[in-house]
Chain A
Amino acid sequence: MAHQYVAVLWNRQKKLYDLYIFLGIILYLLAFIVLTMILKPNITEEALIIRASGSLSILILHIILIIGPLSRLNTRFLPLLYNRRHLGVTMFLIAFIHGGFSIIQFHALGNVNPLVSIFVSNNEYGDLLNFPFQTLGFFALIILFLMAATSHDFWLTNLGPRFWKAMHMMVYVAYALVILHVALGIAQSEPEPIMLTLLGIGLFTIVILHLMTAFKEVKNDREKSLNQRGYVLVGTVEEIPENKAVTINVNGEKVAIFKYDGKLSAVSNVCRHQNGPLGEGKIVDGCITCPWHGYQYLPHNGCSPPPFTEKVETFDIVLEDNKVYLNPKPYEPGTERSPVVISS
């Protein structure tokens, strides 16, 4: 959370996160190089670089795509989400090394422009198994470049969270292109059973986790009906955990009802930063704290504490016979609403 743009707003968590990324990369590369030198001692340096960078970028892409649904299914994985954009940019740089070396190795030695050569050296576009798989990798790299280049709050603010998030969902398309790039490329010419098995496991894990998350959201997205006074029943006070929230869906979007210090307040569930789910966060230092990147809001008015300026909508709630009711009509972002005091 920052009130001005800096290249990277470093803190201890981000430094630790990046240290683990760096150590993981070094360990993987060492293991890959040693194993390859043992199993294929005559491999050329170029082939080693291409294969090490290609396999590493696919591994990181799988980790990136697993973090999202795991965090939605189990909050213990939320710390992995915190600095995922550094993982994404790292993955792009490694994929760029793979793509760059591949283009030089396989397309730069002829008399055709290497970028043109990717598209014209094999014209069997109508044959799935002989498809020019390098074009798939090329388009995946373009998508990953766009995402890496806009992985900063400057772009997030200027493009708007909705457009930015929609654009970054193109990573799913890039993932599909990468899987096909491997399945129609190296898997056809040098099929290693272990590689195909690991890739298959990765693919099915990602697909199942994302579908599980998507359908869990469908269940949560069902709207509750209004009572005669136009209020929605949230549940009993006991059903709301202390310093946490429950969410209900009204008017097509979720509202988070927080319980803290013997009080209840309701705010929009949508964080202004990346539209993260505030209702899955908790109260830290008296502020609702977004579980994705730690953006904070005061529960009674939906405003970020000074000097920050983000604001979310607030809602009225009523407590009757230990039951919590929500008025689904939102107030303007940042509107003060007195918390409901829970009588003991």
Chain B
Amino acid sequence: MISPLRRRHRLMWMIIGVILPVLFLIAVFNVPEFPYDTVAKADTQHFEQAAFQEDLESFSIEIGKNNDGSIELSFDLKKAFNSPAVGVYISNNNDIKGAQFLFAIGDPKVYSTKLDNMSVPNNIIIYDQIHKKILSSINTTK
């Protein structure tokens, strides 16, 4: 390389060398925490007494009480969504703002997690995290 390009190379890497690792680390340290330990159970779980059940073409949802009294939500994804970044949220209204994130879904399988609250949530929202769009909203109070 000639001298002016060597200077440009040096300048570019001094800038990239500072900014890029910082942005990368910010992104890594702010990755949302997914409840991996509670998702992706091998088999479909059926509760003896389900508090809520919904069976749709691409997925089914079941909310029921465990023996220890905890409330558990089981989500059986039958067909993958087109978006690669889809999350399941619960909310007391049909709005993603203020909704509680439960887990991300990708491959067709059963996902389940215990709910913090001891009551069945009003709404279960399937949310496309890339396009920021509600794909489906299930009202459990109907």
Contact = CB atoms under 8 A, between A and B. Distances in A.
A binds B: yes
Nearest to B80: A44
Contacts of B2: 162, 253, 270, 275
A196 to B, nearest CB: 6
B131 A121 contact: yes
A136 to B, nearest CB: 11
B27 A183 contact: yes
A204 B3 contact: no
B42 interface: no
Contacts of A184: 27
B35 interface: no
Contacts of B6: 214, 217, 221
A7 interface: no
Contact of B84 (A47, A122, A199): A47
B142 interface: no
Nearest to B87: A189
Contacts of A200: 24, 28
Interface stretch (B47-55, B89-97, B105-113, B114-122): B105-113
B5 A207 contact: no
A183 B9 contact: no
A172 B27 contact: no
A47 B1 CA distance: 41
Contacts of B129: 188-189
Nearest to B13: A210
Contacts of B14: 211, 214
Contact of B21 (A190, A204, A221): A204
Per DSSP, chain A at the interface is helix
A207 B85 contact: no
B108 A106 contact: no
A200 B24 CA distance: 8
A334 B137 CA distance: 76
Interface size class of B (residues with CB under 8 A): 35 or more
A196 B25 CA distance: 10
B138 interface: no
Interface string B53-83: 0000000000000000000000000001011
A190 B85 contact: yes
A185 B109 CA distance: 23
Given A200-B28, A203-B21, A109 B82 contact: yes
A157 to B, nearest CB: 17
Given A188-B31, A253-B2, A42 B20 contact: no
Contact of A124 (B1, B9, B109, B132): B132
Interface residues of A, number: 57
A200 B109 CA distance: 31
Nearest to A274: B1
A142 interface: no
A38 interface: no
Interface in A148-197: 162, 165-166, 169, 172-173, 175-176, 179-180, 183-191, 196
B17 A211 contact: yes
Given A189-B130, A275-B5, A42 B16 contact: no
Given A188-B27, A189-B84, A214-B9, 17 more contacts: A40-B107, A47-B84, A106-B130, A129-B26, A165-B1, A176-B20, A183-B28, A186-B84, A187-B31, A188-B30, A189-B129, A189-B130, A190-B104, A217-B10, A270-B2, A275-B1, A275-B5
Interface string A106-143: 10010000000000011110001110001000000000
Contacts of B1: 165, 275, 277
Nearest to A43: B107
Contacts of B130: 106, 121-122, 134, 185, 189
Contacts of A175: 16
B3 A187 contact: no
Contacts of B85: 186, 188-190
Contacts of A50: 84
